[in-house]
Amino acid sequence: MKRFSLSPRAWLLISIAFLLVLLELSAILPDWSSPLERGDYAFRDWFLRLARPVAPHPDIVIAAIDDFSLAWNPSRWPWPRRDLAEIVNWLNAAGARAIGVDIFLFEPDSDPQGDLALAEALRQAEFSAGVLQVTRDPSLGTETLHLPLPLYRQVFDGLGITAVRADEDAVLRAVPACDSFDGQVFCHWAFALARSLLQAESPVPVSQRALLFNGRLIPLYQGRILVPYAGPTGTYPYYSAARIPLGDYPPEAFRGKIVLLGATSSSLQDIYPTPFSARRPMPGVEVIANLLAAILAGVSLQVAPVWVNLVAIALMALLAAWIGRLHSPAWMLATMLTGMLVYALLALLVFVRFRLFLPVTGAETMLFLGVVLPGLEQAIAQEREKARIRRLFSRFIAPAMVEQLLQTPRLEALNKRADLTILFSDIRGFTSLSERLAPEQVVALLNPYLAEMTEIIHRNGGTVDKYEGDAILAFFGEPLPMSDHARRAVRAALEMRLALDGLMARWSAQGIAPERFEIGVGLDCGEVFVGLLGSEQRINYTVIGDHVNLAARIQDLTKTYAWPVLMSEAVYRRVEAEFDCEFVAETQVKGKQEPVRLYKLIGLRGASQESRLRAYKTVEAA
């Protein structure tokens, strides 16, 4: 049974997807956001700034306790309740439809008459709403409910929480929808204000993901309401609270409006960075104005559930696997970037159309890492393979050809049958020569000789198969295919013999040369097997076949005919137009049933006498 296995690329894709899935599932944990979710914050902010799903509500204004108001009023904050009563009375006289007091009224005023005055002013309002607070001490395990004084609770038409909870990056994107104390549930203050216009019942929490209000479900995100900000700080009109009772504003500015009375001064520390104003924080009262406008408009934002994230990651993993099958790195990069852009635009389109935040960071990360990391792993693997090829073939062929060979994607592709020219050379009389010389002298002669001959073979595009003592086996036409491999081999053989004269002269000048010796070269061409043979511990790039054996036999016959370079008729037919050759004989060769026609290589056509080969001056047995 065939064993099932995955490629390293597939394992890498699966590992990336598995890690991202774990990060997505970790978002289910309470009070913790995964790195992917935090990455999505930036996309949500960007979408919100582009789409602006809610327009500023024309009937919402802010009575701002700003820096001017704090400087104008001689009393320290919190102001005396009589001062607040003056503001509320003036708004009532101007015809305000609803007044929301975003000020804690938990403690009595130093002047009891001040509390009575403010309570009466709120009683006269068409609709008024106040705030409460639930505080908790984790170290003691206690919780406390802070309510307005009883006389205020009697006149307020609605109460609600105004608690905020910024995300890990300190940006306020959502506010708690409800809070509870001793079995009682208190929803956000914005709902209490919305009831004044919608004539709706109080909201009813359904789950951590939904709230029922005015006949529709409002989606929640981890128990919070995402605020659909209409714009940056200052989107809603501000009216300085201290100037309102002075009559600095026309009554028309407040007639029929919902007026939110709250702090906007940074010194009161009720300001928060928002998706529109990270550097210019927004007062909490304007955050509530944005939320109230969304509730009145019936607009709500929601985040796709976790399973959508998982599906997006899986689809991006499949897309990354498909992109990985492209052979061009440029196409892979272009397709990856296009996929990331298309998905981001799709997520933006879904948000604009359905006000639904699709997960972006997890899917985009999957596609990016799914293409880049396997591509990087493949590049590293290719570099390792290239280094292996470079080490292996630098022993056989010229360095310049090794660089060309590195384009071969797999070493196994080098194993093939191919039409090649085989060159076999040997030093005549080397055995007897080595017997007369010390081993050090033999090495001093043989190393320069092999280096010179190898350089010639490489220069002509040949591959050195192996050295066998003083003998050299080389071939032409692989691993880089050459249509003129026979011509290259014959030229190399000619240059090898002519180079021997230079070597002999140099050795003679150095006083290390014995009597003159000769070399014999045999050439044949035809189809042979060429490729990698060996084991993991030792491997060679070599040729095997009848034409290899014939080249060795022809080399032996150079002694018989006293000529340095002999070739078969197959080689001769391919080079006769460029080289001067001469028929020698038709002879029977060991291992061949048919006689072999041999030809002498004389030289290049039209070459000088000094560049033409001559018969051996002496002939000895090798």
Helix (H, G, I), strand (E, B) or coil at 260: strand
Four-residue CA torsion sign, 267, 271, 276, 278: positive
pLDDT of residue 28: 62
For 33-53, what is the mean pLDDT? Answer: 87
Please, are residues 428 and 620 in contact by the beta-carbon 8 Å criterion?
yes
Q: What distance in Å separates the CA atoms of residue 336 and residue 158, rounded to the nearest whole number? A: 54
- In angstroms, how far is the first alpha carbon of the chain from the final one? 56
Q: What distance in Å separates the CA atoms of residue 583 and residue 596, rounded to the nearest whole number? A: 11
pLDDT of residue 38: 84
pLDDT of residue 407: 61
Domain limits, the chain: 7-53+301-370, 56-299, 413-611
Please, are residues 24 and 38 in contact by the beta-carbon 8 Å criterion?
no
Q: What distance in Å separates the CA atoms of residue 355 and residue 358, rounded to the nearest whole number? A: 9
pLDDT of residue 3: 54
Binned at pLDDT 50, 70 and 90, residue 408 comes out as: low
Helix (H) or strand (E) holding 459: helix 439-459
31 sits in the region (left: phi over 0; alpha: psi -120 to 50; else beta) called: left
Asked if pLDDT for residue 402 goes beyond 80, the answer is no
Please, what is the angle between helix 306-324 and helix 329-354, to 10°?
A: 160
**pLDDT: is 601 or 3 the higher one?**
601
Please, are residues 524 and 547 in contact by the beta-carbon 8 Å criterion?
yes
**pLDDT: is 583 or 368 the higher one?**
583
Q: What distance in Å separates the CA atoms of residue 116 and residue 106, rounded to the nearest whole number? A: 14
pLDDT digits (tens, 9 = 90+) for 133-168: 999 888 888 899 999 999 999 999 999 999 888 888
Four-residue CA torsion sign, 352, 354, 357, 361: negative
**pLDDT: is 522 or 320 the higher one?**
522
**72 CB neighbour count, 10 Å cutoff:** 13
Residue 60, phi then psi, degrees to nearest 5:
-115, 125
Highest mean pLDDT among 14-18, 73-77, 99-103: 99-103
pLDDT of residue 606: 86
Highest mean pLDDT among 71-75, 426-430, 530-534: 71-75
170 sits in the region (left: phi over 0; alpha: psi -120 to 50; else beta) called: left
When mean pLDDT is compared across 143-152, 200-209, 521-530, the lowest value belongs to 200-209
Asked if pLDDT for residue 263 goes beyond 60, the answer is yes
According to CATH, the topology of domain 413-611 is: Alpha-Beta Plaits (3.30.70)
For 426-455, what is the mean pLDDT? Answer: 84
pLDDT of residue 620: 45
Asked if pLDDT for residue 537 goes beyond 80, the answer is no
Token duo for residue 137: 């001490």
pTM: 0.65
Mean pLDDT computed over every residue of the chain: 87
pLDDT above 70 coverage of the chain, percent? 89
pLDDT of residue 621: 40
pLDDT of residue 619: 42
**pLDDT: is 386 or 186 the higher one?**
186
For 585-596, what is the mean pLDDT? Answer: 87
Asked if pLDDT for residue 1 goes beyond 50, the answer is no
Strands 539-544 and 471-476: unpaired
Token duo for residue 242: 């201290």
pLDDT of residue 89: 96
Q: Which of 392, 497, 324, 348 is nearest to 47 (CA)?
A: 348
Displacement of CA 231 from its chain's centroid (Å): 33
For 361-378, what is the mean pLDDT? Answer: 81
pLDDT digits (tens, 9 = 90+) for 452-476: 999 999 899 998 888 888 899 999 9
Asked if pLDDT for residue 422 goes beyond 90, the answer is yes
Binned at pLDDT 50, 70 and 90, residue 622 comes out as: very low
Binned at pLDDT 50, 70 and 90, residue 615 comes out as: confident
Task: Return the bridge partners of 524, or none.
Answer: 422
When mean pLDDT is compared across 32-36, 52-56, 219-223, 585-589, the lowest value belongs to 32-36
Q: What distance in Å separates the CA atoms of residue 203 and residue 195, rounded to the nearest whole number? A: 9
For 198-211, what is the mean pLDDT? Answer: 88
